Amino acid sequence: MKEFFETVDFIKSKVKDIPKIAIVLGSGLGSLAEEIENKTIISYKDIPNFPISTVAGHKGELIFGSLNNVPVIAMNGRFHYYEGYDLKMTTYPIRIFKLLGVETLILTNAAGGINLNFEKGDLMIIEDQLSFFAESVLRGPNLDEFGERFIDMSNVYDKAYIELLKPIMEKITGKCLTGVYAYMKGPTYETPAEIRALRTLGADAVGMSTVPEAVVARHSGLKTIGITCITNMAAGVKNEVLTHEDVKETAKKCENNFKQVIKELVTTINQL
């Protein structure tokens, strides 16, 4: 735990009032950071024991400030297993949020659409997740300071918050899509056969992040919300070659709706 407290002490020495809401910004969705006012920005490389993100489109900054007058922390750039970190390191910031006193975690990501009713550019509320093909981030000695060994997973994405988010989504995007996010380790996109298999298993979208963070958040008792930007239809759905450039470009197109949704959501949560 020593390294956790070192990190927390450093952050507390830079930021006086720690917000109760943290937002993890997914690939191409980082421009929400520009809307944050009265910012204190801390670069990951300056934070003791913090990992550093290596992916294009992920900036590597922790931003403290206010969004629509609501205090928030935004993580501009997250960590993925495919970068080479072990899973514990990919979720290190989530445990730091918990120790800082954060109560609500908003996880966002870019993902491929598996549900054939989805379209590129849609936003989806994550209702549940699948992670059959990856080891659990909680494998190994349990960190009792955060939570118990065996945890219930029937409310990973907080049901009450999902209900709050639905009318916001409907109002801003004209649609209210919900679904199951399937986690794949990457860094390859999936094969068409994998996508057909995931569809059979009940997945609506697929991506390479979020699930480890959501599991750790659940373990430590954070309330979690997940929002996915469908940046492409998954492999084999359309006759398209998938590229990270296209993913980032579509995420950019979703950005206006995405920012509006997050702003209204934090305002609503703040009023509870």
* Residue 28 region by backbone torsions, left for phi larger than 0, else alpha for psi between -120 and 50, else beta: left
Q: Is the Cβ of residue 94 or residue 234 nearer to ligand HPA in the bound state?
A: 234
Binding of ligand HPA at residue 28 (CB under 6 A)? no
Q: Out of 25, 73, 100, 110, name the contact with ligand HPA by CB under 6 A.
A: 110
244 is catalytic: yes
Binding of ligand HPA at residue 206 (CB under 6 A)? yes
Q: Is the Cβ of residue 241 or residue 272 nearer to ligand HPA in the bound state?
A: 241
Residue at token pair 């970068």: 83
Binding of ligand HPA at residue 189 (CB under 6 A)? yes
Q: Is the Cβ of residue 29 or residue 242 nearer to ligand HPA in the bound state?
A: 242
Select which of 22, 33, 53, 58 is catalytic.
58
Tokens encoding 251 = 């995420």
Binding of ligand HPA at residue 128 (CB under 6 A)? no
Work out the number of other CB atoms within 10 angstroms of the CB of residue 54: 14
Separation between Cα atoms, residue 146 and residue 241, nearest integer Å: 42
Tokens encoding 50 = 């913090």
Q: Which residue is nearest to ligand HPA (CB)?
A: 112
Select which of 109, 209, 257, 270 is catalytic.
209
Binding of ligand HPA at residue 232 (CB under 6 A)? yes
Separation between Cα atoms, residue 122 and residue 120, nearest integer Å: 6
Binding of ligand HPA at residue 118 (CB under 6 A)? no
Q: Out of 106, 137, 227, 234, name the contact with ligand HPA by CB under 6 A.
A: 234
85 is catalytic: no
Q: Which residues contact 67 (CB under 8 A, 6 or more apart)?
A: 32, 35, 36, 37, 74, 262, 263, 266
82 is catalytic: yes
Residues pairing with 124 in the sheet = 177, 228
157 is catalytic: no
Q: Which stretch binds ligand HPA (CB under 6 A): 14-22, 95-103, 134-142, 231-239?
A: 231-239
Q: Is the Cβ of residue 242 or residue 265 nearer to ligand HPA in the bound state?
A: 242
Q: Is the Cβ of residue 147 or residue 207 nearer to ligand HPA in the bound state?
A: 207
Separation between Cα atoms, residue 257 and residue 172, nearest integer Å: 6
Q: Which stretch binds ligand HPA (CB under 6 A): 60-68, 76-84, 165-173, 226-234?
A: 226-234
- Residue pair 126/157 in contact (Cβ under 8 Å)? The answer is yes
What are the helix (H) ranges across the chain?
Answer: 2-14, 87-90, 92-100, 159-173, 192-201, 211-219, 244-270
Which letter does DSSP use for residue 40 in this model? E
* Residue 84 region by backbone torsions, left for phi larger than 0, else alpha for psi between -120 and 50, else beta: left
Binding of ligand HPA at residue 168 (CB under 6 A)? no
208 is catalytic: yes
Count the helices and strands in the chain (H runs, E runs). Answer: 7, 9
Catalytic center residues: 27, 58, 80, 82-83, 110, 208-209, 232, 244
What are the residues binding ligand HPA (CB under 6 A)? 110-112, 184, 189-190, 206-208, 231-232, 234, 242, 247
